[in-house]
């Protein structure tokens, strides 16, 4: 699965009513104190011990999502608009 596909799937999980087995894998990070970057929706990337576990959706999707620029992550519009913004980034 490519990074673009993971980003689109993560956007769908975060903005629509995705199946619970996918939405249960993604957890948003809550900063301990108020920072300028706290408006950015970041996801927690679980630690893994093997390279194979690093390819799991629960690890790879938050990693790709956190690597996107803020303006793309904050795009709460339709999936088509998100894809268009993502295309200009990639």
State the burial class of residue 55 (Cβ atoms within 10 Å of its Cβ: 0-12, 13-18, 19+).
exposed
What's the rounded Cα separation, in Å, for the pair 33 and 26? 21
Which pLDDT band holds residue 3 (cuts at 50, 70, 90)?
Answer: confident
Residues of the domain holding 23: 3-89
Average pLDDT, the chain: 85
Place of tokens 């490519």: 2
Q: Are 68 and 89 in contact (CB under 8 A)?
A: yes
Number of domain units in the chain: 1
Residue 46 in this model has a pLDDT that exceeds 80:
yes
Give residue 36's pLDDT: 65
């Amino acid at each position: 699965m490519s990074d673009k596909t993971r980003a689109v799937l993560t956007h769908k999980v975060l903005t629509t009513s995705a199946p619970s087995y996918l939405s249960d894998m993604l957890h948003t990070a809550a900063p301990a104190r108020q920072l300028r970057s706290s408006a950015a929706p970041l996801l927690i990337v679980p630690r893994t011990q093997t390279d194979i576990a690093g390819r799991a959706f629960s690890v790879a999707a938050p990693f790709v999502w956190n690597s996107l620029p803020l303006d793309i992550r904050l795009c709460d519009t339709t999936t088509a608009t998100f894809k268009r913004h993502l295309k200009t980034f990639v």
